[in-house]
Structure 1
Amino acid sequence: MVSVKLQANSSQPVNLQGVMNFRDLGGIKTKDGRSIKKNILFRAADLTDMTTSDKAFIQKISMQTIFDYRTADEATKRPDPHLERVNYIRVSVNQETGKPAYNSLEEFMQSDTFDSFANDLLMELYKSIPVGNPSYHHLMSLLKDPERNLPLVQHCAGGRDRTGVGSMLILLTLDVEWQVIVEDFLFSNVLLDKYHSQIFEKLNGMVSEERAEKFKEQFLLQERYIDMSYQNIMQNYNSFEVFLEQEYGITAEDRKKIQDYCLK
């Protein structure tokens, strides 16, 4: 059971037993006063540990699409369940190198990547991934045909970084206020508090206190991360409308169709 203070205009946690950070974008209001319909757009961490009751929920709402942002290695180690009548699609946000991911947190701590968090690794990630990314191109192609592809759940490993950018793209398309998008992005810090704490506790005694604090500071989601994604879009396209049309082939007419289907 998720026990958190819900925000007035934010995605709503769904109480699945085996999935972290599972949220319904339904209820979020748009600039024109409409709101996103419930049970059509979801975001989540990986679905590997779904229970029987979790799967029953997915079937009850007639989920059409599971969209996975993870690499092949991640998905092999933590596979999603393949459910009846649900289309499973995996297109990695990150480049598929063919190399295995870190086998343990201990291995990660000894890598150069661990210390690079102190040098704004996540800032670089958020800047680089929203433009020219095949994964988000595929996601938006699904959104462009909502009758066929929704309800949809998008997810990565923790449902915060890659999924956070995907949610930003969807919410901007639906014309949600930017500050609402930011607050929903940061909501993952609340819903993943226990998960984050478990990671941070493992740092004790394994790395110096200084290295641990630098990692913690950069690892928790910050507004500047998602803002970097948005600013990169603006620098390349000047407006979100131009970005939608040139990057994804979503015209003003297509956008209205998406909004009319997803909003009430």
Structure 2
Amino acid sequence: MYKKAVFLTLCFFLAQCSNNNNLMDRPIHKINQTSQTEDHRLLPMDGSYNTRELGGYKTKDGKFVKWGVLYRSDKLSDLSSTDEQYLQNLGIKRIVDFRSATEKTEDPDIIPEGIDYVEMPIAVDGAMRSQIEAILKGETNKDIKSFLVDANKEFITDYADVYSKFLKDLIANKGPTLFHCTAGKDRAGFAAAITLIALGVSKDDVISDYMKTNAFTADRIDQMIRQIKLMSLYQVDAEIMRPLLGVEQEYIETAFQTAEERYGSLENYIKVGLSISDSEIQKLRSLLLES
């Protein structure tokens, strides 16, 4: 019975919730529009709960990230036809998917017509599922938070090639880009972080963006905790899942610390670890920043 409860918990964790929104009520963020506010950052979607704008952040030299050019998101497998039209209306030209082959097979993205789809897999799903199951069964002393701390270290140590490819793809200037993983918080969260660092946004603002997942998904997380308790017949301590459903500042700070220990600074990690030259950084900034 307990194993069944664990299985149901894992199944529920992999499921997603949705909202209903009218297309006419959805904001369209135009390039070179600096008057947008934080209220516009989370996009209203039927089949996605963590699709966000990265525009508006101020850089250390006084410029701003353009609105309407960079979006981060959770998986796009549950998009409604209204969502598809909305992404087209936003002018998105490219979708980058960080999920593994298994994740994409189980929940293939719905790609709106006219938008290019690029796969840049970071395969953590198998390890994640087995680790979560072991934690829920009490077969390991490691907790979920420790697992995610280690996963963020691996973004630096094991996946430099993927994140280098991602930044170079942005530098190639193929139009407004949406990038995502499954929940839109870990793999996509780190991609957002290094992009903002490369653009010259302060570390404090980068961490603030990373932590917005918790604010934007708080109600959903509480709902999932309640459902896990019910589905497991209260045999699973659902609260131990909370660090997995949201983010902790320690996660991204661990990634930053690992990069700084290996390369001296985050900027040097981007230049040396990700092989992004000074001229490429300047091109990225010319494409994505405005005064």
Answer yes or no: is the 8 Å Cα contact 1:156–1:163 preserved in 2.
Answer: yes
Tell me what 2:166 maps to. 139
1:144 alignment partner AA: I
Give the TM-score of the pair, scaled to structure 2.
0.76
**Percentage of pairs with the same residue:** 23
Does residue 1:174 correspond to 2:203, yes or no? Answer: no
Instruction: Give structure 1 stretches of 5+ with no counterpart.
Output: 3-7
Tell me what 2:277 maps to. 251
Tell me what 1:25 maps to. 54
Tell me what 1:75 maps to. 104
Does residue 1:189 correspond to 2:218, yes or no? Answer: no
Matches within 5 A, 1:58-207: 58-95=87-124, 110=136, 116-118=142-144, 120-133=146-159, 134-145=161-172, 147-148=173-174, 150-204=175-229, 206=232
Q: Secondary structure at 2:284's aligned position in 1?
A: helix
Deviation at 1:100, TM superposition (A): 11
Partners of 1:228 and 1:198 lie apart in 2 by 28
Does residue 1:241 correspond to 2:267, yes or no? Answer: yes
1:120-169 Cα distance to aligned partner (Å, 9 max, x none): 11111111113341332221121221x22x31111111111111111111
Partners of 2:149 and 2:180 lie apart in 1 by 20
Answer yes or no: is the 8 Å Cα contact 2:197–2:267 preserved in 1.
Answer: no
2:269 alignment partner AA: F
Tell me what 1:57 maps to. 86
Partners of 1:108 and 1:52 lie apart in 2 by 39
Partners of 1:218 and 1:187 lie apart in 2 by 15
1:44-76 Cα distance to aligned partner (Å, 9 max, x none): 111112122221122223322111111111111
Q: Is the deviation greater in 11-20 or in 29-38?
A: 11-20
Aligned CA distance change for structure 1 residues 12 and 100 (closer, same or farther; 3 Å): closer
Tell me what 1:5 maps to. none
Number of aligned residue pairs: give it: 254
Answer yes or no: is the 8 Å Cα contact 1:10–1:27 preserved in 2.
Answer: no
Q: Secondary structure at 1:43's aligned position in 2?
A: strand
Deviation at 1:233, TM superposition (A): 0.8
Aligned CA distance change for structure 1 residues 76 and 31 (closer, same or farther; 3 Å): same
2:164 alignment partner AA: H
Partners of 1:222 and 1:117 lie apart in 2 by 14
Answer yes or no: is the 8 Å Cα contact 1:10–1:183 preserved in 2.
Answer: no
Partners of 1:196 and 1:239 lie apart in 2 by 34
Tell me what 1:221 maps to. 247
Deviation at 1:93, TM superposition (A): 1.5
Does residue 1:262 correspond to 2:279, yes or no? Answer: no
Partners of 1:225 and 1:218 lie apart in 2 by 11
Q: Is the deviation greater in 117-126 or in 33-42?
A: 117-126
Partners of 1:171 and 1:94 lie apart in 2 by 23
Aligned CA distance change for structure 1 residues 85 and 221 (closer, same or farther; 3 Å): same
CA RMSD in angstroms, aligned pairs only: 3.1
2:263 alignment partner AA: Y
Aligned CA distance change for structure 1 residues 247 and 212 (closer, same or farther; 3 Å): same
